[in-house]
Amino acid sequence: MTGRFGGWSLGAGLVAAVAATLLWLRVALRAAPARHARRATWATLAAAAAACAALEWALLRHDFGVRYVADNGGRHVPPYFTVTSLWAALDGSLLLWLLILAGYAALLARSTRRRTTTLHPWALTVVCTVCVFFFALTYFAANPFRSVHPAPADGPGPNPLLQEHPAMGVHPPLLYAGYAGMVVPFAYALAALLAGETGPAWLAATRRWTLLAWSLLTAGIVLGAWWSYAVLGWGGYWAWDPVENASLLPWLTATAALHATLAGRRRNPLTGWVVALSCATFLLVLVGTFLTRSGAVASVHSFTQSPLGPMLLGFVLLVAAVVGGLLIWRSGRSAPARPPGPPLARQAALLGNAVLLVLLAAIVLTGTIFPLASEALGGARAAVGPGYFNRAAVPVALVALVLMGVAPLIRPGGDRPAELGRRLVVPAAAGLATVAAVGLLTRPGLPALAAFGLAAFVLAATARAAAPGRAGPGTRIPVRATVRRLGGLLSHAGIAVAATGIAASSAYTASAERQLSVGQAVTVRGVTARLVGIDRAPAGRGMAVIARLALERGGATIGTARPQLRYYATRDTVVSLPAIRSRPRGDIYATVTQVASDGRTATVRLAVNPLVGLVWAGGAGTALGGLLALRRRRSTPAAAPTAVTAGEPVGAGRP
């Protein structure tokens, strides 16, 4: 009965989404009342919520007559991971995607209730059209409520990697909320093209939605990197994996769109950039969905082979064709282009940063899809490793850091070189002093040294922009900074802190792997791990082999570590679970990769990862800054002298 109810809910959601699309189109074309369209939108959300609730109920009741539960549920699975099993596999994850997507549609319908304009019904028509596609995809091709006859007595549970860390309950929903949230700026972009209203007013309608989705996506990416670091046992957090890249791509273009929004709020032609970047961001979300759910790429993060690939690829191509056609159609009707201002205007710096971010996205996209393209053209699948991304992307990212530090200190109307130079003296001195000190003491290599120096430069420039006082002649920063402005500055500081952590953990990480007998030890950078014993213990329906390590530094014991190999009988899989001891200076990271059958020796890998905690701290600060920047601004006259301050950061612009 649960399976039938879930299937009926999906069917009802599909009908409601079609009705909402047609009703919002009627509102857009005829300026009809939107009451029925809103009701259909809320009915779409209610149907998606009912379908998710039905699958959760089936998982919690261990209803193995439902195929999804038979494939991913299990009586031995703890309740927390039983709940999170909803998004542990392809079909269930699409249900979560549907729920979040329909939620955005309902929120958009509600937010426009009292201030409907020409753009809003067109935007909701686009969002509901996307809902129709994903409801149809789930109902016809990835329906999790199909039945199993005869029903098994038990199931294998979710993938073992998905039931070893509490982040399973937070990371996928955050990531999906960031992904699906990009549909709103995309919908407004298409609405602006369809309605022919691509002026500055369009920016006000989309900026806060973009910031919300960008902040959630930032949090999801950082949490995913931490989860990978804590569970996979390889000692890293980013490997330029295709699915990792798929999450980074829309983040880059969304960040570029926010910069272009700031740069173009007083320069009408730049709204075309925001339109194009908003469309590109959602297209990249769809590309990431295709990579993750089609089985086209081999990744520990992706789902298995599925029949959804051709349908997702067809939808991507259709959306790309529609977007391209509308951009071409409206290209000749936009306002005549004007230059972005003098070279030392803040708008020019913001636009330059947006261009660099788009270039970064192009580099990452090329490396991600090149193996697929080479195979599609009849050749062998080419391999693109981290070396390509590091050589091509890192220099561009370093230049972007330079502009990120400079832009907040430039006056909106432009600056004389001497005035800007005076404001940059302290940040530049901080960066050069950092380069000199780090280079003389540690010699980390040129890329890492440049990252350290530029991160110090950005942090000092951010502090200079946040400080009350004069930023330049005739422009005074308020003593009490607004929350929005502080949010933008916090995002800048967070990126600089994360860059420091990435550079330090890349340049200074050291590791060693040895086969140890009880009593023997392996030493890395003054940290010694001594094998004290090897234990075996039951773990659920499997077995765990635990290496007991004593950690020492300078002959003194500093703690213990218990990495383990865990065997899951239901999946016939062995997972290596690391032991991590975090300290202010960095992490001690221990894994056991092999244990002899007689239990006398174990192969242990010990790594010392300096300052890796800065990656998580910086990412958290960046996401929090984006959320703080969501705060609305009280309307002020356009000519008011305090409408823009020279210390206002990138990402905190007013619509």
Convert the pLDDT of each residue in 217-273 to its tens digit. 999 999 999 999 998 888 889 989 888 999 999 999 999 999 988 876 655 556 778
Residues 608-611: contacts with CB under 8 Å, at least 24 apart: 608/509, 608/510, 608/511, 608/524, 608/525, 608/527, 609/235, 609/505, 609/509, 610/504, 610/505, 610/508, 610/509, 610/585, 610/586, 611/500, 611/501, 611/504, 611/505, 611/508, 611/585, 611/586
Same domain assignment for residues 447 and 522: no
Q: What is the pLDDT of residue 342?
A: 56
Does the pLDDT of residue 116 top 70, yes or no?
no
Q: What is the pLDDT of residue 201?
A: 67
Residue 377 domain flag = no
Write out the two tokens for 403. Answer: 């502009």
Same domain assignment for residues 438 and 573: no
Chosen domain end from 162, 195, 211: 162
DSSP for 229-255, please give it.
HHHS-SS-S----HHHHHHHHHHHHHH
Same domain assignment for residues 17 and 37: yes
Q: What is the pLDDT of residue 459?
A: 96
Q: Which of 491, 509, 503, 505 is nearest to 619 (CA)?
A: 491
CB 527 within 8 A of CB 588: yes
Q: Which of 20-24, 283-287, 464-468, 525-529 has the lowest mean pLDDT?
A: 464-468
Cα–Cα dist 360/259, whole Å: 14
Residue 599 domain flag = yes
pTM here?
Answer: 0.91
Residue 370 domain flag = no
Same domain assignment for residues 102 and 14: yes
Same domain assignment for residues 153 and 18: yes
CB 139 within 8 A of CB 61: no
CB 73 within 8 A of CB 57: no
Q: Which residues pair with 371 in a beta bridge?
A: none
Residue 104 domain flag = yes
Q: What is the pLDDT of residue 470?
A: 42
Residue 35 domain flag = yes
Residue 2 domain flag = yes
335-389 pLDDT per residue, tens? 544 555 555 677 888 889 999 999 999 999 999 988 888 877 766 677 788 899 9
Query: Beta strand pairing status for 521-524 and 510-517?
Result: unpaired
| Torsion sign, CA atoms 358, 362, 364, 368 | positive
Chosen domain end from 138, 162, 186: 162
3-class DSSP state of 8? helix
391-401 pLDDT per residue, tens? 999 999 999 99
- In total, how many domains does the chain have? 3
Cα–Cα dist 481/485, whole Å: 7
**Residue 106 vs residue 160, higher pLDDT:** 106
Q: What is the pLDDT of residue 650?
A: 30
Same domain assignment for residues 416 and 455: yes
Same domain assignment for residues 457 and 523: no
**Residue 331 vs residue 641, higher pLDDT:** 331
Q: What is the pLDDT of residue 397?
A: 96
Does the pLDDT of residue 300 top 70, yes or no?
no
Residue 354 domain flag = no
Same domain assignment for residues 409 and 518: no
Write out the two tokens for 390. Answer: 């590091």
pLDDT exceeding 70 applies to what percent of the chain? 87
Print burial letters for 398-407: b (CB count within 10 Å at least 16), e (below 16): bebbbbbbbb
| Three-point CA angle 347, 213, 108, nearest 5° | 105
Does the pLDDT of residue 520 top 80, yes or no?
yes
3-class DSSP state of 492? helix
Mean residue pLDDT across the chain:
86
Does the pLDDT of residue 169 top 80, yes or no?
yes
Residues 114-117: contacts with CB under 8 Å, at least 24 apart: 116/34, 117/205
Same domain assignment for residues 494 and 524: no
pLDDT band at 585 (very low <50, low <70, confident <90, very high): confident
Cα distances (Å, whole numbers) of residue 213 to 56, 79, 483: 26, 30, 19
Same domain assignment for residues 62 and 150: yes
Does the pLDDT of residue 641 top 50, yes or no?
no
Q: What is the pLDDT of residue 374?
A: 80
3-class DSSP state of 351? helix
Instruction: Give residue 519's domain range.
Output: 511-610
pLDDT exceeding 90 applies to what percent of the chain? 61
Cα–Cα dist 199/565, whole Å: 59
pLDDT band at 639 (very low <50, low <70, confident <90, very high): very low
Same domain assignment for residues 620 and 574: no
Cα–Cα dist 250/182, whole Å: 8
Same domain assignment for residues 467 and 519: no
Residue 378 domain flag = no
Q: What is the pLDDT of residue 478?
A: 45
DSSP for 390-458, please give it.
HHHHHHHHHHHHHHHHHGGGS-TT---HHHHHHHHHHHHHHHHHHHHHHHHHT---HHHHHHHHHHHHH
